[in-house]
């Protein structure tokens, strides 16, 4: 117990009324990024906007198998995906380990740009990698066209230089709220269509769609309308890629783990390095 300078015990402050405490906690949970402030309370909190990264919800919602990938084509080319979560990346180490392509998070919603973008995007290019950028979609904040424009304007463009891959729409579990962002299946399909159409109008390329089969089934009704135009990047952390979303008969890229060396998120490109270059060239 604290004491006054006179040596007499000081009175402890009165406990805050229960209603005041509950009100304070309710206010805390409405503030973006309150997760750290509320730690230890036992109350579920929401991560700060902008912190989402590719595959963040895969293990929690889709699980993780064991063993190395099997049943792949004769030649696969190793790649990684990164965001500000990784900070500055040791690109030369990755290159020496056999990683030949990379995707870097550029944007999220219409409110965020990757704070490590330059080091990651330029660094991967400088060591010789074919690289591109991805956009983490938040369909509950703004429309698909608005987010496609934000993406293109902030690192998501494309050029026919043989080293720049088409942009990626990362559409998956919502780390900030309802799994399907509060949209009906038809509404989600419409949102995705607005994004991919706007991206193509701006860049001349059909964007890659990154998703997980279970999410695609739940949130689009397993819509088959994108397989003919948009390359598929599928997430499944297991020894086999498993079932693909409707409309795609094969995958272009497969994110098979979030616990790889140097950078956790590792991927297989479904073909040799010349096919990676072919995708870059369109």
Whether 194 is catalytic = no
252 and 232 Cβ atoms separated by less than 8 Å: yes
DSSP β-bridge partners for residue 113: 107
Distance CA 110, CA 114 (A): 12
CA–CA distance, 274 with 266 (Å, rounded to integer) = 19
DSSP class per residue in 7-44: SPBPPPPPPPPHHHHHHHHHHHHTSTTTTTTTTTS---
User: Is 153 annotated in the active site?
Assistant: no
Contact 170, 137 (CB under 8 A): yes
* Known catalytic residue at 140: no
Of 48, 78, 140, 170, which residue is the catalytic one? 170
Q: Are 128 and 101 in contact (CB under 8 A)?
A: no
Active-site option among 81, 108, 206, 265: 81
Fill in the DSSP letter of residue 252.
Answer: S
β-pair partners for 108: 112, 136
Q: Of 108, 172, 206, 265, which residue is the catalytic one? A: 172
Q: At what angle do helices 185-203 and 144-153 cross, to 10 degrees?
A: 30
Residues involved in catalysis: 81, 170, 172
């Amino acid at each position: 117990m604290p004491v006054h300078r006179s040596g007499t015990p000081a009175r402890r402050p009165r406990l805050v009324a229960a209603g005041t405490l509950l009100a304070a906690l309710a206010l805390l949970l409405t503030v973006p990024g309150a997760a750290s402030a509320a730690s230890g309370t036992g109350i579920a909190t929401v991560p700060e906007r902008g912190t989402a990264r590719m595959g963040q919800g895969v293990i929690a919602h889709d699980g993780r198998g064991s063993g190395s990938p099997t049943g792949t084509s004769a030649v696969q080319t190793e790649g990684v995906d990164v965001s500000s979560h990784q900070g500055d990346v040791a690109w030369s180490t990755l290159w020496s380990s056999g990683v030949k392509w990379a995707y870097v998070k550029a944007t999220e919603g219409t409110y965020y740009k990757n704070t490590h973008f330059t080091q990651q995007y330029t660094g991967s290019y400088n060591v010789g990698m074919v690289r591109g950028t991805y956009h983490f979609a938040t369909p509950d904040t703004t429309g698909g066209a608005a987010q496609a424009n934000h993406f293109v304007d902030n690192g998501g463009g494309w050029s026919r230089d043989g080293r720049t891959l088409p942009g990626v729409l990362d559409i998956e579990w919502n780390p900030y709220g309802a799994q399907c962002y509060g949209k009906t299946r038809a509404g989600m399909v419409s949102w995705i269509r607005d994004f991919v159409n706007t991206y193509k109008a701006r860049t001349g390329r059909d964007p890659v769609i990154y998703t997980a089969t279970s999410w695609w089934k739940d949130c689009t009704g397993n819509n088959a309308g994108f397989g003919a135009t948009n390359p598929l990047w599928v997430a499944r952390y297991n020894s086999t890629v498993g079932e693909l979303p409707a409309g795609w008969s094969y995958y272009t890229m497969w994110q098979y783990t979030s616990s790889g060396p140097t950078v956790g998120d590792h991927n297989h490109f479904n073909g040799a390095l010349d096919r990676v270059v072919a995708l870059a060239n369109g």
